[in-house]
């Protein structure tokens, strides 16, 4: 947990996804994707985006589920010190949240 996060800082944290491909962030389950179920991933919160990094490759990008003001309280949060890795080769899929 970080004491303070500079404005505009990119935050990273590691999570092992559950059997359904979700991660626990700020007490809420966040669906990452079944294809990454039970895998360790790095989650990178950058502005309004959540980048999912698996095995050193950008696996996907989603809308960030955690507000900026909550990020410093995330378990295991650290300020990112490296650049975002390149995406995996192959087709790209875009996911948008469903309306309730």
The residue extents of the domains of the chain are 11-79
Tokens of 90: 């192959």
Q: Per-residue b/e over 5-26, b at no fewer than 16 CB within 10 Å?
A: beeebbbbbebebeeebbbebe
pTM: 0.82
Confidence of residue 93 (pLDDT cuts 50, 70, 90): low
Highest-confidence segment of 9-13, 39-43, 70-74? 39-43
- pLDDT of amino acid 5: 67
pLDDT digits (tens, 9 = 90+) for 4-37: 667 668 999 999 999 999 999 988 999 999 999 9
Distance CA(16)–CA(43), nearest Å, equals 10
Helix, strand or coil for residue 72? helix
Q: Can you tell me which residue has the tokens 């996907």? A: 60
Average pLDDT of the chain, as a whole number: 86
If pLDDT is split at 50, 70 and 90, which confidence band does 54 have? very high
Contacts of 6 (CB under 8 A, 6+ apart): 79
């Amino acid at each position: 947990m970080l004491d303070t996060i500079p404005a505009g800082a990119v935050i990273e944290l590691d999570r092992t996804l559950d059997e359904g491909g979700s991660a626990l962030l700020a007490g809420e389950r966040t669906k990452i994707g079944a294809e990454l179920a039970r895998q360790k991933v790095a989650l990178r919160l950058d502005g309004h985006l959540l980048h999912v990094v698996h095995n050193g490759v950008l696996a996907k990008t989603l809308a960030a589920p955690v507000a900026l003001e909550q990020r410093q309280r995330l378990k295991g949060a650290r300020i990112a010190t490296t650049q975002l890795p390149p995406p995996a080769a192959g087709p790209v899929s875009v996911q948008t949240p469903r309306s309730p």
